[in-house]
Amino acid sequence: MNRHLENPPAVLIVNDDQVALDLLRDLLEPEGYKVFAAQSAQRALEITATVKTDIIICDVVMPGMDGMELCRRLKKDPNTSATPVLLLSALRKEDAALREGFAAGADDYIESPFRHEKLLVTVARLAERHRVERRYRDIVEQAVDIIYSRDMEGRITSINEAGARFFGRSAFELIGEPLSALIGDEAAAGDIARMQNIKSFEPVRFTNCLKNALGELRYLEGIVSLERDSHGAFLGVRGVVRDVTDQQLTEQALRASETRYRVVAETASDAIITIDDAANIVFANPATEKIFGYQVFEIIGASATKLIPDYSIQIHNLALANQTDVTQPEVECRAISVAGLHRAETGQRA
């Protein structure tokens, strides 16, 4: 089934019995798998340190380090923790051995002798699952946003490289940490309580302000959703968090600038009027009322010609004189004289 793949799934077989190794190799290679073999657990660790495998098939009973201990070590290593391990055993078939295997982190357990079809189906399922998960992890790790998951009690279960960089710790160190260790006790308690009491299936949006690993205060905007099982019970929380510090600082600066402009405009003795592209008035300060005789609410939305009858002609003449496109913003500002019309005395120039 993998014969025509450019990068066929890589399988590592670990067994101290050469006959068993040859049997598994003869089963898997015709199916298109790239097979690596090790006759000891130590050799298997050496191979996994240099080769990325899609599945590891390991005998349980081996001299020295057995398959159970090898499985534990593989699952503790960040480089192999996600690689599925299939345990094979001809000697240990009791339920206790099965439970011990899964407790060690094994993804499946097959008793020997086994049907060849069963082994091939199991290997194909685990290898394909691993490849899909690896592609997903690659996408997540390359993301600029922080992507994480946690259980319902607030313990981190996964976090990508962007999150690791933000907090200044490796992802492997962060997994298992309480949420409070990352965002503080009060914020964590509020987040956990809010998600435990949520009734809707809709994602929840939030904003927060945290210091990164460099001690810089950063504005974060996130969206979180609940993961549920087939019965609707909560399993955990998955979130995507974006650093919006630059956007927030820009908006703050803009609001501050607008506030300063409004203070100047409100206190100025000259009329200050803002018009849009259609020459309609969108802002007028209090001094406008004294100069033109209209209350501000009467002229908002009106054409500028209400106050300056020759406005259109003035703009046309200005364009001809300068041979410029007045629809485009100009860096240079100049004063020009125009005649305005006062409300109380039609025809009187303001």
Tokens of residue 41, six digits: 């657990």
- State whether residue 93 is helix, strand or coil: coil
Place of tokens 């969206």: 223
Reported pTM: 0.51
Q: Is 9 exposed, middle or buried (0-12, 13-18, 19+ CB in 10 A)?
A: buried
The C-alpha atoms of residue 145 and residue 163 are separated, in whole angstroms, by 8
The C-alpha atoms of residue 150 and residue 343 are separated, in whole angstroms, by 67
The C-alpha atoms of residue 108 and residue 125 are separated, in whole angstroms, by 11
CA neighbor of 293 nearest in space, from 247, 349, 331? 349
For domain 269-350, give the CATH number: 3.30.450.20
The C-alpha atoms of residue 58 and residue 56 are separated, in whole angstroms, by 6
Residue 144, Ramachandran bin (φ over 0: left; ψ between -120 and 50: alpha; else beta):
alpha
Tokens of residue 158, six digits: 């996964």
The amino acid occupying position 288 is T
Residues in the chain: 350
The amino acid occupying position 247 is Q
Residue 117 near residue 87 (C-beta atoms within 8 A): no
Q: What is the pLDDT of residue 28?
A: 94
For domain 10-141, give the CATH number: 3.40.50.2300
Identify the sign of the CA torsion 28, 108, 45, 78: positive
Identify the sign of the CA torsion 56, 60, 66, 72: positive
**Which residues of the chain fall below pLDDT 70?**
1-6, 91-95, 311-336, 345-350
Query: What percent of the chain has pLDDT above 70?
Result: 88
Q: What is the pLDDT of residue 4?
A: 53
Q: Which helix (H) or strand (E) holds 150?
A: strand 146-150
Same-fold call for 10-141 versus 143-247: no
pLDDT tens for 84-134 read: 999 998 765 566 777 888 888 899 998 888 889 999 999 999 998 888 888
Q: What is the pLDDT of residue 347?
A: 47
Phi, psi angles (nearest 5°) of residue 178:
-70, 150
Q: Which residues pair with 243 in a beta bridge?
A: 220
CATH topology for 143-247 is Beta-Lactamase (3.30.450)
Residue 105 near residue 74 (C-beta atoms within 8 A): yes
Phi, psi angles (nearest 5°) of residue 52:
-85, 115
Tokens of residue 255, six digits: 């609001």
What's the Rg (C-alpha) of the chain? 35
Q: What is the pLDDT of residue 240?
A: 93
Q: Write down the domain spans for the chain.
A: 10-141, 143-247, 269-350
